[in-house]
Amino acid sequence: MKLIFEKSQGGRRGGELPRYDVPPAKVPDELKRERPPRLPELAEPEIVRHFTELSTRNFGIDTGFYPLGSCTMKYNPRVNERLAMLPGFRDLHPYQDEDAIQGALELMWRLQEALIEVSGLDACSLQPAAGSQGELTGLMLMRAYFADRGEGDQRDTIITADTAHGTNPASVTMAGYKLAKVETDARGNVDVAHLREMVNERTAGLMLTNPSTLGLFDEHIEEIARIFHEVGALLYYDGANLNAVCGISRPGDMGFDIVHINLHKTFSQPHGGGGPGGGPIVVRDRLEPFLPIPAVVKDKERFRLDFDRPKSIGRVRGFTGPFGVFVRSYAFIRSYGPRLREMSEVAVLNANYLLARLREAYDLPYDRLAMHEFVLSARSLKRDNGISALDVAKRLMDYGFHPPTIYFPLVVPEALMIEPTETEAKETLDEFADAMLAIAQEAEDDPQLLREAPHARPVKRLDEVLAAKRAIVKYGFEDHPDLSDTKAEPRQLEAQKGA
């Protein structure tokens, strides 16, 4: 398929702009643009065709089953898209006066209250732009909390699990903390004995997700919380796996003090090819003073932004956060109400059903009931037939499914992390299981077919090594001189100069 630049024809454009009878403004010579940017030059029909063609080469939840573990790829209700585009939300400027944004502020406040209820904590900030930013914000809160108590220099280390998502250690470094890793035991729980050795008065806190990235609920979570609280440290909950436990077990009740929630996971913000998302944080009362500014507060019957927060860590993002994401997540939550519990029940049911269907054909590193996701290993396929998790993933594409997450968590070799979510019908789960079983058989009968997969996608297997070596990260206009001669003329005030 051609790149949009390869479809450019000099002088074409998508549409005309309005013309006004005002004097032209002059840019000082030393600041003026010398050469126009080589933007695409296409008429509107060609633009629409180009992006439509691109979309046909892509697979989303709307296309089919997308069991990417840890990402909670659930169906995105379309009404939420319509609601986010209401002019009262879509065309609202963030600096409008407070009386002019009461609907927006109320929506945010109500969303905060719902997240507080689901997490079992006390105060919420919607500002962080994604889970990773929520993590970093949570760590900044810890830092501010301990500094406020005079323990800032004393507490320099955060403990993460060896099964942790890569964002956890990356966030720890960005927050200026040292990193320590606790091991996972044979049942997939945090190794409590190892943990006890590590936790001391230099510990600022723990970062953990529960259920873990193995899809297992930590059976010792109460003991873990005690260990940290006893030394005056805090517990941070990575909310990536919240879809498993809404209304069933709340992170605040598990003993966590700070929680981030991934709105694009549990609360159905469409993933958009990589984003946007939302990473609000919910905290225990004693951490509330440190939350980012501004806070959204309710004052009798009105809502306002509170900037008078002397202990706040400051601002982590522009304005009050990704509002369009809040609209969708709030709508999602309002469409479930207390039935969010059923959402989690079905998510867990679907995962366990798939696990039951697949456990004989693949290796199961931890023989327990799963939560909303589970991890299998292709280790035996590798040993017996030289087929890796990567090969299984590529072959699944030929069966019409997006592959699960592979090679994560790191503690499981040839890992396949499967998360069906609650919005999948049993028939879909069965089709997927049938495909996985067929592939396990193909690994024995015709391994070369798997090694050369996919066969049925718009491209064959792509060479990532070549990409890293060449590092071609933009279109090479220089290699195509006929497309480099871009023109852009100063505006003519009279008759149109047409394309």
Partner 1 sequence: MAASESYPDDLKYHAEHDWARIDGGEAMLGITWFAQDALGELVHYEPPNEGDTIAKDSAYGEVESVKAVSDVIAPLSGEVLEVNAKVVDEPETVNDDPYGEGWLVRIRLSDAAEVDSLLNVDAYKQVVAEA
Partner 2 sequence: MLAEIGVSSVEELFRDIPAGVRFGRKLDLEPALPEQELSRHLEELAARNADTSKELSFLGAGIYDHYVPAVVDTVLQRGELLTAYTPYQPEMSQGVLQAIFEYQTVICELTGMDVSNASGYDGTTVAADACYVAKHATGRTKVVVTEATNPQVRQVVKTYAPGFGLEIVEVPHRGGVTDPEELRRAATDAACVIFQQPNFFGCLEPAPDLAAAANDAEAIAVAHVDPISLGVLEAPGAYGCGMAIGEGQSAGNYQSFAGPHYGFFAARNDFIRRMPGRIVGETLDAAGERGYVLTLQTREQHIRREKATSNITTNQTLLALGGLVHLSWLGPQGLREVGETCMGLAAYAQSKLVDSGLEPAFPDRTTFKEFAVRTGRNAQVAIRSARERGVHPGYALGRDYQGLDDVLLVAVTERRTPADIDRLVEALTP
Chain residues that interact with partner 1, rule: CB under 8 A: 407, 464-465, 467-469
Residue where the block lists tokens 């030289």: 386
Q: Minimum distance between the CB of residue 384 and partner 2, rounded to whole angstroms?
A: 24
* Binding partner selected for residue 221 from partner 2, partner 1, none, CB under the kind-specific 5 to 8 Å limit: partner 2
CB nearer partner 1, residue 12 or residue 379? 379
By C-beta, is 225 or 389 nearer to partner 1? 389
The one of partner 1, partner 2, none whose footprint includes residue 300, by CB under 5 to 8 A per kind, is none
- Least distance in Å: CB of 451 to partner 1? 15
65 secondary structure, DSSP code: -
Q: Look at residues 380, 412, 383, 407 and name the one whose alpha carbon lies nearest to residue 393.
A: 407
Nearest 5°: phi and psi at 189? -95, 160
Q: Which is nearer to partner 2, 199 or 246 (CB)?
A: 246
Q: How far apart are CA 366 and CA 214, in angstroms?
A: 8
Report, in Å, the least distance between residue 130 CB and partner 1.
23
| Distance between CA atoms of residues 399 and 417, nearest Å | 18
In the complex with partner 1, which residue's Cβ is closer, 327 or 406? Answer: 406
Work out the burial of residue 96: count CB atoms within 10 Å of its CB; fewer than 13 is exposed, 13-18 middle, 19 or more buried: exposed
State how far the alpha carbon of 355 is from the alpha carbons of 349, 350, 405, 408, in Å: 10, 9, 15, 17
Closest distance of CB 276 from partner 2, Å: 4
* Minimum distance of partner 2 from residue 121's CB (angstroms): 13
Residue 324 vs 413, nearer CB to partner 1: 413
Which of partner 2, partner 1, none does residue 425 bind (CB under 5 to 8 Å by kind)? Answer: none
346: exposed, middle or buried (C-beta count within 10 Å: 0-12, 13-18, 19+)? middle
Q: Are strands 415-418 and 374-377 parallel, antiparallel or unpaired?
A: antiparallel
| Residue 179 binds: one of partner 2, partner 1, none (C-beta under 5 to 8 A by kind) | partner 2
353: tokens are 């059903």
Q: What's the CA gap between 246 and 344, in Å, rounded?
A: 6
| Nearer CB in complex with partner 2: 154/335 | 335
CB of 407 to partner 1, least distance (A): 7
73 binds, among partner 1, partner 2, none (CB under 5 to 8 A by kind): partner 2
Partner interacting with residue 421 (select from partner 1, partner 2, none; CB below 5-8 Å by kind): none
